[in-house]
Amino acid sequence: MIPKKTEDGEQQAVIEWAGIMSNAHPELLNLYHVPNEGKRSKAEGARQLRMGLRPGVPDLILDWPSGQYHGLRIEMKVKPNRTTKDQKDWLDRLEKAGYFVKVCYSAAEAIQTIEAYISMQKRKV
């Protein structure tokens, strides 16, 4: 039986790939995840919100300018899952602010997106 794909598993595969590829592409050292998901008690959830946790923040963040963009934001999903309203709102705001945003449904799609992003020509200032 083929194991069911999970968002966590796909995302972990992307992070493992980035670790392997970071010698060739040091910008991948700036790829990280903000742990927004997870079950918490009401008290812990309230504490996290006071500390700046925001629902809908994309799963993967690459703080590295490329092409015309300030950075890359990826929301990981597996089908049939869809983005929430909070996630859509974040992605829309980030895109308007000059970030490259993408919803990816597999590790392979996310890796292709990152490779295309980091290969963009730098913008001339």
- Alpha-carbon distance of 11 to 104, in angstroms, equals 10
- At 60-105, the pLDDT tens digits run 999 999 999 999 999 999 999 999 999 999 999 999 999 999 999 9
pLDDT in the model for residue 122: 59
- At 5-17, the pLDDT tens digits run 899 999 999 999 9
- Alpha-carbon distance of 41 to 61, in angstroms, equals 26
- Alpha-carbon distance of 86 to 74, in angstroms, equals 14
User: If residue 75 lies in a helix (H) or strand (E), which one and from where to where?
Assistant: strand 72-76
- At 17-56, the pLDDT tens digits run 999 999 999 999 999 998 776 667 788 778 877 887 788 9
Considering the entire predicted model, what is its pTM?
Answer: 0.87
Q: Does position 123 have pLDDT exceeding 80, yes or no? A: no
Instruction: Kindly list the strands in the beta sheet with 60-62, ordered across the sheet, starting from the edge strand earlier in the chain.
Output: 31-33, 60-62, 72-76, 100-104
Q: Does position 125 have pLDDT exceeding 50, yes or no? A: no
- With b for 16 or more beta-carbon neighbours within 10 A and e for fewer, the 30-59 pattern comes to ebebeebeeeeeeeeeeeeeeeeeeebbbb
pLDDT in the model for residue 47: 83
Give the residue carrying structure tokens 């927004």: 36
The secondary structure of residue 105, as a DSSP letter, is S
pLDDT in the model for residue 38: 63
pLDDT in the model for residue 26: 95
